[in-house]
Amino acid sequence: MQRIVYLDRASIPVEVFRPAFNCDWVEYPKTAAADVVARLAGATIAITNKVPIDAAAVDALPELKMIAVAATGANHIDLDACRRRGIVVSNIRGYAEHTVPEHVFALLLALSRNLLAWRATLQAGAWQQSEQFCLFNHPIQDLHGATLGLVGSGSLGNGVARLAEAFGMRVLRAERKGAIQVRPGYTAFATVLAEADALSLHCPLTAETSSLIAAAELQAMKSSAILINTARGGLVDEAALIQALREGWIAGAGFDVVTAEPPPVGHPMLFPELLALPNFMLTPHVAWSSQPAMRALADQLIANIEAFVAGQPQNQLV
């Protein structure tokens, strides 16, 4: 009988149906890194959303045969160690192809139309004091006719592209940074930085993409550009981003992620003076979490496990 251990059940607040086969199912609301090996002892299948499973844990769990990642990103799993041991790692794909793009555009629209600044202006009573029917305190930019740069062309990047085209935006898909050749349908990374009115990130966090956007890249963007990151916090050098916002290298930024989640007290991306800026929006990693998307995630999670047990693993990273 399969022993399935879910390390962080509280991370997906919808019902997770049990597999169609008999199994020993154990779940914990959350698991500290120090408790991973003890809790997975005897498990054949581990489920994790964000709990790390490193090489030491993999080597200490001889009965482990599969890791079912309850998310798309798997940078918290040592894939090389799993490959060496023959452990199947499957992730979730396509479940957020509508909800994340919608969140991207919620951030993009709010920033391009200066909604935070307008709200503050209204709270200050400026409209009531106006001598005419409207105010002109804050500039508003249309998305129609603007250029959107996309870094990452999976289901989320493609979903953002569809919405961008519906808004009448020009879409540029960025080639990999430093690539010698540019693939058909893509544009050189440096060109995208220079031409984008908005840049949206949709790539995984790897050794190659860590700090993909740092000071040099931010300075290469238009001073009127907006940076959107709903992917992973480590894709952007946060110190450089804060400097860029304070010194006007770019016009604004909308983020759903930071490098450490949950962020510790004193994390610079949550400094009150930064959060008070009208050109910066931060949400607590919720772009993925609409009710329909979480339902789809939970169903695909169990489908991945059932496929593995049936001898036909799907959505494999390893």
Cis amide bond preceding 101, omega within 30: no
Bridge partners (DSSP) of residue 89 are: 67
Q: How far is CA 174 from CA 88, 147, 178, 194, 212, in A?
A: 31, 12, 11, 11, 12
Contact between residue 99 and residue 293 where contact means Cβ atoms under 8 Å apart: yes
144 among known catalytic residues = no
131 among known catalytic residues = no
Contact between residue 305 and residue 20 where contact means Cβ atoms under 8 Å apart: no
Provide the b/e sequence for 115-139 (b: ≥16 CB within 10 Å): bbbbeebeeeeeeeeeeeeeeeeee
In the set 39, 261, 267, 295, the catalytic residue is 261
Q: Nearest to residue 258, comparing CAs of 238, 273, 274? A: 238
Helix count and strand count (H, E) for the chain: 11, 11
User: What DSSP line would sit under 271-300, residue for residue?
Assistant: -HHHHT-TTEEE--S-TT--HHHHHHHHHH
Residue with tokens 């349908």, as numbered in its chain? 185
In the set 39, 285, 295, 306, the catalytic residue is 285
Q: How far is CA 260 from CA 232, 241, 268, 300, in A?
A: 10, 15, 11, 27
**At 236, is the secondary structure helix, strand, or coil?**
strand
Q: Nearest to residue 47, comparing CAs of 91, 96, 94, 93? A: 91
Dist CA 296 CA 97 (whole Å): 11
In the set 97, 173, 232, 238, the catalytic residue is 232
Dist CA 51 CA 187 (whole Å): 36
261 among known catalytic residues = yes
Dist CA 88 CA 304 (whole Å): 11
Active-site residues, by number, are 232, 261, 285
